[in-house]
Structure 1
Amino acid sequence: MSLRIGTRGSALALAQTKKVAGLLADRGIETEIITITTEGDTATGVPLHAIGGQGVFVRALDEAIIRGEIDAAVHSMKDIPAARPAGTVCCAVLERDSPADFLAHEGPLDAVRIVGSSSTRRRAQLLREEPALEVKQLRGNVDTRIRKLREGQYDAIVLAEAGLQRLNLTLPGEPLPTDRFVPSPNQGTIAVVCRDDPAVAEVFAPLDHAPTRLDVEIERAVMEEVGGGCFTPQGIYCRNGNLTAEVLALDGSRWERIERHITTIDEARECGRELRRQAADLIREAYAALGIKP
């Protein structure tokens, strides 16, 4: 069997897709990699929440699967929205790489004043840690972000450590501790989405890592109950059933947090509902500040 695998054209997306293709090749499965441009790749001058959130990176690939142009697509799992179109299925979740954020900076850490990030979560967590920081919008692929750092447009930028590892990039800086900088749901995880066809899904099944899938499904269940998407700063991270979930004010001045051991998806959903009740004011404030209707 030969499979057509779709991907975005960024260096990171291609590296992730080549990793999946390599794992399939080890099992004697031939693949063809097809690059597809998404709205998130072309509209780089505006914040993600203004063009529909992380789902803009996934939509075009979902549509290509449904139209039959590709058999499957490889994604950073954190980009996959909760609502999924009929005709697609998440057929494999690879073993998780580092879930941490990485603060890259060329000069000394105590000289960092301006940090680049387009994530409301990262902005809020950075300001919680150091309210005097200025966090400025930063979009574009990894190469573009690093170039802007080296040009001096920012003193530091925040990237996913897993992405740097997959690109074999070594930058000056340090990973941010996940207890204080709780990652976004599913950060560090690669997922494969395919058309809802048992024969296709079966090919990818050996790549699925059950412990990672359970952890990220717990995170997604909490995320779905909390709501807010990329509009509301929220970190949700589970490792071996140990969940940390928080919602923050946009300026990092206040937050609500839950830490709990979770064994079932139902328990995760209850935690999500509990966190949503606790953080109701923060969620409303975030929507109002961004001019978005809840």
Structure 2
Amino acid sequence: MEMKTIRIGTRDSQLALWQAHTVQSELEALGFKTEIVSVKSTGDLLLNKPLYELGITGIFTKTLDVAMINGNVDIAVHSMKDVPTRLPKGIIQTAVLPRANTRDILVYKELDFLNGEGTVATGSLRRQAQWLNKYPTHNVTDIRGNVNTRLKKLQDNPWNAAIFAKAGLERIEVLPENHIDLDWMIPAPAQGAMVVVTMESDSFSTEAVQKLNHLPTEICTHVEREFLQVLEGGCTAPIGALATIVNDNLHFEGMLLSLDGKQKMATKKTIPSKDYKGFGKACAIEILDRGGRELMVKIKKELA
């Protein structure tokens, strides 16, 4: 029987294609035949609307979900932080690749603004809230588009700086000299991780892709995404989460903030990594019980 060619679905941005080629080379190294099929996503086309107005769940993943369900592609590669915590019926998470840098960075024109007034660009509620929590005198402005578009917009506008995920800029080799690591900022759940999804009914592609799974990254991102899912229940909110495994211990840091950054609820815990199941949920419930429920109601109203 001839081996089937695995069609890898991807968005057509430079970063998405980089991710798809990475998966392609790993599958081909294992002896599988592959081809890349790129698809434009609604999220890439509607650059004038802030993300959270687009009924966000899976704005960047929807187009590829449809392509998989229609049988136009066999697998899809995503930045894991873009993937809704609940996958569409019939589509399963099959592999999480070894994680890259999880940090956010500030790309700046000059840094003196940190001590006074300033405007920072980000399209993320999480980055906005954490920035305003630390720099309450600053303005935050919305910015959309892929990495290259956003870097250009920063140059073309009178803003002082913009916030990016370090992994994305490193992967496509556009990390500018003029940046600093924001080591105080808690990243988005699953930031820096790539996920490959397959159709549950497609055992050939599923078994092939499973060989790429990196267990420590899978465990950490599972905890972070469970924390996210329990906290937000399908509504978008400023939520950060980071799990790391060191010497069989899992360290977790999670937070929920108000949109203006004035309210912040955080948790920091360590458990044996083998006990990770249900841990993200427990951390989320702790924050909900400490006033997080009321804060989520307030956030939903403000975003409505």
The 1-side partners of 2:222 and 2:112 are apart by: 35
Deviations 1:100-134 (A, max 9, x none): 11110122353671111011110000011111111
Q: Which residue in 1 is equivalent to 2:214?
A: 209
Q: Does 1:281 align with 2:287?
A: no
Q: Distance in 1 between matches of 2:45 and 2:207?
A: 34
> Which TM-score applies when normalising by structure 1?
0.94
Over the matched positions of the two proteins, sequence identity in percent amounts to 34
Map of 1:113-124 to 2, 5 A cutoff? 113-124=118-129
- Does residue 236 (structure 1) correspond to residue 231 (structure 2)? The answer is no
Distance 2:28 2:8 in 1: 13
Take 2:234 and 2:21, find their aligned partners in 1: how far apart are those partners? 29
**Residues in 2 aligned to 1:150 and 1:182: alpha-carbon distance in whole angstroms:** 26
Give per-residue Cα distances to partners, 1:11-48, cap 9 Å, x unaligned. 11111111111111222222111111111111111111
Decide whether the 8 Å contact of 1:48 with 1:54 is kept in 2: no
Q: Does 1:174 align with 2:180?
A: yes
Aligned residue number for residue 48 of structure 1: 51
Unaligned runs of at least 5 residues, structure 1:
none
How much has 1:229 moved relative to structure 2?
A: 5.1
Mapping 1:67-216, distance limit 5 Å = 67-110=70-113, 113-171=118-176, 172-177=178-183, 180-196=184-200, 197-216=202-221
Give the AA of the match of 1:12.
L
Query: Does the 8 A contact of 1:100 with 1:175 survive in 2?
Result: yes
CA distance in 1, matches of 2:139, 2:57: 23
Give distance in 2, aligned partners of 1:254 and 1:228: 20
Q: CA deviation at 1:186?
A: 0.2
Moved more, 228-237 or 77-86: 228-237
* SS in structure 2 at match of 1:23: helix
- Size of the alignment, in residue pairs? 289
Sort the Cα spacing of 1:107 and 1:229 in 2 relative to 1 into closer, same or farther, 3 A.
Answer: farther
How far 1:257 moved relative to its partner?
Answer: 0.9
* CA distance in structure 1 between the aligned counterparts of 2:163 and 2:280, rounded to whole angstroms: 28
Partner Cα separation in structure 1 for residue 258 and residue 32 of structure 2: 47
Deviations 1:53-101 (A, max 9, x none): 2511011111111111100000000111012112111111000001111
C-alpha separation in 1, matches of 2:264 and 2:98: 30
Q: Which residue of 1 is the match for residue 65 of structure 2?
A: 62
The amino acid of 1:286's aligned partner reads: I
| Contact 1:116-1:137 at 8 Å conserved across structures | yes
Partner AA of 2:297 in structure 1: R
Residue 267 of structure 1, CA deviation: 2.6
Q: Which letter maps to 2:261?
A: G
| One-letter amino acid of the counterpart of residue 190, structure 2 | N
Gapped runs of 5+ residues in structure 2? none
Work out which of the residue numbers 230, 235, 255 in structure 1 matches 2:264. 255
Using the TM superposition, give the Cα deviation of residue 281 of structure 1 relative to its aligned residue in structure 2, in angstroms. 2.2
Are 1:290 and 2:297 an aligned pair?
no
Q: Does the 8 Å contact 1:245/1:259 carry over to 2?
A: yes
Q: Secondary structure at the match of 1:265?
A: coil
Q: CA RMSD in A?
A: 1.5
1:20 corresponds to: 23
Cα deviation digits, residues 118-155 of structure 1 (max 9, x gap): 11110000011111111000001111111111123421
Distance in 2, Cα, partners of 1:153 & 1:181: 24
1:256-288 Cα distance to aligned partner (Å, 9 max, x none): 111112422223212212222221222111111
Contact 1:228–1:283, Cα closer than 8 Å, also in 2: no
What is the identity, as a one-letter code, of the residue corresponding to 1:288? K
Give the secondary-structure state (helix, strand or coil) at the position aligned to 2:58: helix
1:230–1:124: structure 2 CA closer, same or farther, 3 Å change rule? farther
1:230 positional shift? 6.4
Aligned mates of 1:21, 1:116 — CA distance in 2 = 34
CA contact (8 A) 2:235 2:300 kept: no
> 1:199 & 1:140 partners in 2: Cα distance?
35
1:272 partnered with 2:281: no
Structure 1 moving runs of 4+ over 4 Å: none
Q: Distance in 1 between matches of 2:143 and 2:41?
A: 18
